[in-house]
């Protein structure tokens, strides 16, 4: 079954090019998630931090089976909002100014810094939203820049998205 990634809200995307870029990035996200290459890359990735919190108030577990990670992503079972396996991601996106990082998320809202919106390529933006949305499913990583962080599920997915895109474009 195909997963459908859609934009439900664009806050402060005050220029036409920003809205167009957002839609292009989401088109890339759809292409990547529904490819066999993505499935294979998630299966093969050596995640060293596998923390997952199914419910925002529930316990943190570790997912040892990469296929399970893939299935959560494909099925679209978010912590907030629509919790069903609806094979749908609904992106609430906002641009912000005063963030130290590239972006962050607040519950189901993803905030991206304006400078990153300007400087990123479409696939970098797609990878960033993929990372942030993975938090909405309950995947976690160290807050500090640790050695493990690049191989956490959210950071790993960002890497995977860029790699898969390269493969798809041969
Ligand atoms: Zn993160």
Dump pLDDT digits (tens) for 116-132.
999 999 999 999 999 99
150: confidence class by pLDDT, cuts 50, 70, 90: very high
Of 3.90.1200, 3.40.390, 3.30.1600, 3.30.230, the CATH number of 4-168 is 3.40.390
Centroid of ligand 1 to alpha carbon of 85 (angstroms): 23
The pLDDT-based confidence of 105 (bands split at 50, 70, 90) is: confident
Angstrom distance (rounded) from CA 20 to CA 10: 11
SS3 call for 19:
helix
**What CA–CA distance (Å, rounded) separates 125 from 123?**
5
Distance (Å, whole) CA 81 – CA 59: 19
Mean pLDDT of 47-73: 96
Q: Distance from the CA of 104 to the center of ligand 1, in angstroms?
A: 7
| Confidence at residue 79, expressed as pLDDT on a 0 to 100 scale | 85
Residue 5 · residue 91 · CB < 8 Å: yes
| Contact indicator for 108, 92 with CB cutoff of 8 Å | yes
The C-alpha angle with vertex 97 and arms to 79 and 137, in degrees rounded to 5, equals: 10
Distance, CA 101 to ligand 1 centroid (Å)?
A: 10
Give the domain ranges of the chain: 4-168
CA 34 / ligand 1 centre spacing (Å): 22
């Amino acid at each position: 079954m195909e997963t459908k990634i859609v934009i439900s809200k664009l806050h402060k995307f005050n220029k036409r090019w920003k809205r167009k870029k957002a839609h292009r990035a989401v088109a890339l996200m759809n292409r990547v998630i529904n490819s066999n290459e993505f499935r294979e890359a998630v299966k093969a990735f050596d995640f060293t931090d596998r923390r997952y919190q199914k419910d925002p108030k529930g316990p943190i577990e570790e997912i040892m089976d990469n296929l399970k990670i893939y299935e959560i992503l494909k099925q679209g079972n978010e912590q907030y909002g629509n919790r069903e396996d609806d094979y749908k991601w609904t992106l609430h996106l906002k641009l912000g100014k005063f963030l130290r990082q590239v972006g962050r998320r607040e519950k189901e809202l993803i905030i991206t810094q304006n400078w990153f919106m300007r400087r990123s390529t479409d696939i970098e933006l797609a990878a960033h939203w993929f990372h942030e949305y993975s938090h909405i499913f309950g995947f976690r990583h160290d807050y500090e820049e640790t050695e493990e962080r690049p191989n956490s599920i959210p950071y790993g997915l960002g890497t995977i998205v860029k790699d898969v895109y390269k493969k798809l474009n041969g």
